[in-house]
Amino acid sequence: MSQVFSDETVAQAMEEIGSAPSSRRHGGGVGGDFLPFVHKVASPPKQTLFQEIKYSFNETFFSDDPFGKFKNQSGSRKFVLGLQSVFPIFEWARGYNLNSFKGDLISGLTIASLCIPQDIAYAKLANLEPQYALYTSFVAPLVYAFMGSSRDIAIGPVAVVSLLLGTLLSDEISDFSSPDYLRLAFTATFFAGLTQMALGVLRLGFLIDFLSHAAIVGFMGGAAITIALQQLKGLLGIKKFTKKTDIVSVMTSVFDSAHHGWNWQTIVIGLSFFAFLLTTKYIAKRNKKLFWVAAISPMISVILSTFFVYITRADKNGVAIVRHIEKGINPSSASKIYFSGKYLTAGIRIGLVSGMVALTEAVAIGRTFAAMKDYSLDGNREMVALGTMNIIGSLTSCYVATGSFSRSAVNYMAGCKTAVSNIVMALVLLLTLVAITPLFKYTPNAVLASIIIAAVLGLIDIEAVILLWKIDKFDFLACMGAFFGVIFISVEIGLLIAVAISFAKILLQVTRPRTALLGKLPGTNVYRNILQYPKASQIPGMVIVRVDSAIYFSNSNYIKDRILKWMTDEEAIRASSEFPSINYVIVEMSPVTDIDTSGIHALEDLFKSLTKREIQILLANPGPVVIEKLHASKLSDIIGVDRIFLSVADAVATFTPKGGEV
């Protein structure tokens, strides 16, 4: 098949060939005196400052093009699409059917049986009365069902956030029975929701990714152990117990009360039902179809233990019981939120910390199950939904809610289809608040402690820790730092350590990027890292270095010094061998996505240093942003346009003496 070229195309090609340096047309390449045509590195079309800012802004905040679906739509259609964007339920409800409802009904009833005993227990972690956790599991899932985009996540109080909230609140107000303590809890919940909503509206969801997976694994593991140790008070029947959360204080308090503070009836009840809960979890793990056994075991434990205490009146023998749970639906708490006064700053700070942790957990859970069912999850929409949920919750006597991993897993395995399972769970909670709460009066605290310990054991992911050690030692360090920070100091310090180590890793990677010495793979024109490919051979008279990072003010001097060190080391090695002295340094710039002013100056300094040594610098394949800045700074003229190549192979073919290329 023939290809017909226009006169204009041929003329343009001849002009480009004619403009190529003579060294390229007559250099000594492999196979003859005349090299194949070497392409120039093209500059992208020139953009205005406004276009550059617009592109960067869109890529940062609107990379998913959320307004694309509104284009070329009528006004009424735009209104419907806008309504569906805020309330996804109006989108998926159109295709909802009876089969979907059956799955959601079973899932909702199953997670409700799990969440009621968990809620009563988790409220104690936050140092709140049990009804406030039940209020939270009534209102929050209803709001999320209308606004959330996850089909599988189950909403309510969770152990880690409850402990974090309780710890931070008690640092400000030590008297848990004080009205100010409850008001501060609602205030923190309001600002937690405000933080989450602001992140979603401003499309700043990428900020939560700064808390690395390794740090989360360590934080969750440490929090799980801390929560479990805190439950020794209820499990052993200890009355005087430390308010601190570190392992030393807790274990000291446990052993100090061993001779006079432990209650054997409480221990028997707690350990018996703890063994029952672990057995049901083992059965469910061995046979996935029996997941419901583990799901309903907490409720069975509560019912049986409550009945046992009631008929034996074990509470008169020192067995601590719940005693009273307020009956009725959520009262308004809007007037209790601090919008001024001495606790406002504390409320904002606690809300910010607990809101970010809750958001991180919810998004991680949502993404996990979305990947398993192969559907997309809009992170910013999730943040708006979670934020709205907690703001409304703070006005209706709720505390910080998020996605629960244990309940979400049960929800998924029970066959949930949509967020209607959350609505079913909320309706069961409504029935519980209206009619059933008095029945929990004789529920022993030991059973609630057992339920919490059994639930948080799943947060300790030993396999993930082992994998971190195998893959990345710095990630393992971040994990261990967060873990030991939580169990030996406090929950908030552990979280701070996790964030600090995550940022330290980012800074280390930015300020100390990797560089590699390249060699040519035998029989190819491919150049690769000689450490990874030992058979790759270096080119006589040349050093080829690849920079694996953008070049910014934070790393530009390091990159310049690192290349010069490569030069010094290679010159020392080649001086004692038959290799000729180095005449050229080729910098492979394919991974360099950007360069700033400091980077330009560093390259210029590198050029001057190499020139003094009578060594020429060659650049290979700079990207569009980089080549544009090289031209704008006139550095391309200083180095020489004919010293900038499309590939390393072009640079080697052009400047290698005839017969010298490997």
**Residues 33-41: what's their mean pLDDT?**
58
Q: How far apart are CA 545 and CA 433, in angstroms?
A: 69
248 lies in which domain range?
Answer: 96-322+333-503
Pairing of strands 402-404, 154-156: antiparallel
Structure confidence at residue 187 (pLDDT): 97
Structure confidence at residue 334 (pLDDT): 94
Q: How confident is the model at residue 246 (pLDDT cuts 50, 70, 90)?
A: confident
SS3 of residue 229 by DSSP = helix
Same domain membership, residue 388 and residue 243? yes
More confident position, 577 or 119: 119
**Is the pLDDT reported for residue 313 higher than 60?**
yes
Instruction: Give the predicted TM-score (pTM) of the model.
Output: 0.77
Structure confidence at residue 258 (pLDDT): 78
Structure confidence at residue 311 (pLDDT): 92
Q: How confident is the model at residue 350 (pLDDT cuts 50, 70, 90)?
A: very high
Structure confidence at residue 370 (pLDDT): 85
Is 66 a domain residue? Answer: no
**Residues 33-51: what's their mean pLDDT?**
64
Least confident of 516-530, 540-554, 565-579: 565-579
Structure confidence at residue 592 (pLDDT): 92
Structure confidence at residue 428 (pLDDT): 94
Q: How confident is the model at residue 60 (pLDDT cuts 50, 70, 90)?
A: low
Q: pLDDT over 70 for what percent of the chain? A: 89
Structure confidence at residue 65 (pLDDT): 66
Q: How far apart are CA 294 and CA 5, in angstroms?
A: 73
Over residues 94-116, the pLDDT tens digits come to 888 988 899 899 999 989 988 99
Helix H or strand E encompassing 587: strand 584-588
Same domain membership, residue 520 and residue 444? no
Q: How confident is the model at residue 423 (pLDDT cuts 50, 70, 90)?
A: very high
Same domain membership, residue 337 and residue 209? yes
Q: How confident is the model at residue 644 (pLDDT cuts 50, 70, 90)?
A: very high
CA angle 171, 174, 176 (to 5 degrees): 120
**Residues 339-361: what's their mean pLDDT?**
92
Least confident of 19-28, 278-287, 417-426, 454-463: 19-28
**Is the pLDDT reported for residue 627 higher than 70?**
yes
**Is the pLDDT reported for residue 511 higher than 50?**
yes
Structure confidence at residue 433 (pLDDT): 93
**Is the pLDDT reported for residue 29 higher than 60?**
no
Q: What's the burial of 596, exposed, middle or buried (CB within 10 Å: 0-12/13-18/19+)?
A: middle
Structure confidence at residue 545 (pLDDT): 93
Structure confidence at residue 14 (pLDDT): 39
CA dihedral 495→499→500→503, nearest 10 degrees, is 170
Q: Considering the chain, what is the average pLDDT of its residues?
A: 85
Structure confidence at residue 15 (pLDDT): 43
Q: How far apart are CA 546 and CA 588, in angstroms?
A: 5
**Residues 390-415: what's their mean pLDDT?**
92
**Is the pLDDT reported for residue 82 higher than 80?**
yes
Same domain membership, residue 495 and residue 579? no
- Contact, 363 vs 208, CB < 8 A? yes
Q: Name the domain boundary from 503, 524, 540.
A: 503
Same domain membership, residue 467 and residue 544? no
Q: Tell me how crowded residue 177 is: count the other CB atoms within 10 A of its CB.
A: 8
Q: What's the burial of 532, exposed, middle or buried (CB within 10 Å: 0-12/13-18/19+)?
A: exposed
Is 128 a domain residue? Answer: yes
Same domain membership, residue 485 and residue 527? no
Q: What is the secondary structure of 164-202 as a DSSP string?
A: HHHHHHHHH---TTSHHHHHHHHHHHHHHHHHHHHHHHT
CA dihedral 542→548→554→557, nearest 10 degrees, is -10
**Residues 510-529: what's their mean pLDDT?**
89
Is 59 a domain residue? Answer: no
Structure confidence at residue 656 (pLDDT): 76
Is 577 a domain residue? Answer: yes
- Contact, 234 vs 410, CB < 8 A? no
Q: How far apart are CA 400 and CA 165, in angstroms?
A: 8
Structure confidence at residue 225 (pLDDT): 92
**Is the pLDDT reported for residue 34 higher than 70?**
no
Q: Could you tell me the CATH number of the domain that includes residue 520?
A: 3.30.750.24
Distances 20 to 15, 27, 39, 181, 585 between C-alpha atoms, Å: 9, 12, 9, 77, 21
Q: pLDDT over 90 for what percent of the chain? A: 40
**Residues 443-470: what's their mean pLDDT?**
90
Over residues 214-239, the pLDDT tens digits come to 888 898 899 889 989 988 988 888 88
Lookup result for tokens 């990797």: 514
Q: Name the domain boundary from 452, 468, 503.
A: 503
More confident position, 209 or 454: 454
**Residues 353-369: what's their mean pLDDT?**
88
**Residues 132-146: what's their mean pLDDT?**
95
Over residues 247-281, the pLDDT tens digits come to 998 898 888 887 777 888 899 999 999 999 999 98
More confident position, 566 or 657: 566
Same domain membership, residue 432 and residue 490? yes
Is 119 a domain residue? Answer: yes
From the list 170, 656, 327, 250, the residue with the least C-alpha distance to 489 is 250
**Residues 315-332: what's their mean pLDDT?**
87
Over residues 44-56, the pLDDT tens digits come to 677 766 766 776 6
Same domain membership, residue 353 and residue 218? yes
Same domain membership, residue 525 and residue 451? no
Is 365 a domain residue? Answer: yes
Same domain membership, residue 306 and residue 378? yes
**Is the pLDDT reported for residue 402 higher than 70?**
yes
- Helices and strands in the chain, H and E counts: 27, 8
Is 44 a domain residue? Answer: no
Is 60 a domain residue? Answer: no
Q: How far apart are CA 384 and CA 390, in angstroms?
A: 10
Structure confidence at residue 133 (pLDDT): 95
Same domain membership, residue 241 and residue 162? yes
Both tokens assigned to 68: 């694309």
Q: Name the domain boundary from 503, 537, 555.
A: 503
Same domain membership, residue 490 and residue 594? no
**Residues 627-636: what's their mean pLDDT?**
90
Both tokens assigned to 612: 């003094």
**Residues 74-94: what's their mean pLDDT?**
85
Q: How many domains does the chain have?
A: 2
